[in-house]
Structure 1
Amino acid sequence: MKASFIALSLALAVGSVWSHGKEPHGKPDAPVRKEQKAWGIAGDAKAAKRTIEVGMTDSMRFNPDRIQVKLGETVRFVVRNSGKVMHEFVIGTKKELDEHAAMMAKFPDMEHDEPYMAHVEPGKAGEIVWTFNRAGDFDFACLIAGHYQAGMVGRIQVLK
């Protein structure tokens, strides 16, 4: 009973805070929250020396699906959705993406707005500016229910 109460409480909290509607996520004038993650930290647009365009399609694929960056590099990702359904571009570790995708499958109306995420409506583009201050292999994915499971994933290699 206690476990089911905790699960229900979590579901209600998540459902009330996170929703995947068509409204834009976040406020355009709001300051970006800079929180160190295993895969880096939100970057300053002025520091981005390189722009990487990433396409998203309804075939549940990213193009490119493999990206290399240098340790310390700040990159502007421009993600374009050429499909007819909403897609997103979320950077993270495989473990965190797996966990978030499982949560999205249970609660498909979750809203999440982090500086390492871009939710992109059909025919639109989104942007992320990210500083890769940790070396290693990281992932990106579309975590909309069913998309991740269909293989909408990619890899970012941060080279020393």
Structure 2
Amino acid sequence: MAGPGKHGHSHHSHDEDQQAYGQPGDPKKPAREIAILMKEGDGSMSFEPNRIEIRKGEQIRFKLKNKGELDHEIVIATREENLEHAKEMAKNPDMEHDDPNAQRLKPSEEGEILWHFTKVGEFDMSCLIPGHLEAGMTGTIIVK
């Protein structure tokens, strides 16, 4: 077991499928599609939309498109986890995610995340590439 405050981001994690913010989706089940654009301009970076409302129990297929000229990523987690993770990324900017709740896209690339929101709460989606969160590339997912 990892000690307190240590998030073992290694691949032998104890498959805690149930995160605070839900679990990977089931491709065999229906999902509501939500398109999210990643973009930058005027010194800022953003997701569009940056506020999403979801019903508890809903499965969402996030259709992602990077419309910017830089690499961007989206990581769905709690705000605390993303801020913690952003610190790790600052030390290791080339860290690649292969987690089901994250996706990194090159310019004009498209991707998707299938996620099942099983708990009510306010969750975070952020780009954790150093400097991007600070430039405004963050948003809120509200599960009711």
TM-score over 0.5 (shorter chain): yes
CA contact (8 A) 1:91 1:139 kept: yes
Task: Verify: 1:93 aligned to 2:75, yes or no.
Answer: no
Deviations 1:61-107 (A, max 9, x none): 00000000110000100110001111011100010000011111111
| Residue identity matched to 1:40 | G
Contact 1:90–1:140 (Cα < 8 Å) also in 2:
yes
Alignment root-mean-square deviation, CA: 1.8
Instruction: Show structure 1 runs of 4+ deviating over 3 A.
Output: none
Counterpart residue number, 1:146: 131
Residue 35 of structure 1 aligns with which residue?
Answer: 17
TM-score by length of 2: 0.85
Which whole-Å CA distance do the structure 1 matches of 2:64 and 2:30 have between them? 15
Q: Which runs of 5 or more residues in structure 2 are unaligned?
A: 1-8
Deviations along 1:4-39, one digit per CA (max 9) or x if unpaired, are xxxxxxxxxx8xx8xxxxxxxxxxxxxxx7721100
Gaps of 5+ in 1: 1-13, 18-32
Return the TM-score normalized by structure 1.
0.76
> Are the aligned partners of 1:45 and 1:76 in contact in 2 as well (CA < 8 Å)?
no
Q: Is residue 124–residue 139 contact of structure 2 (8 Å, CA) maintained in 1?
A: yes
Between Structure 1 and Structure 2, the one with more strand by share is 2
Aligned length: 130
Per the alignment, in what secondary structure is the counterpart of residue 146 of structure 1?
coil
- Report percent identity of matched pairs: 46
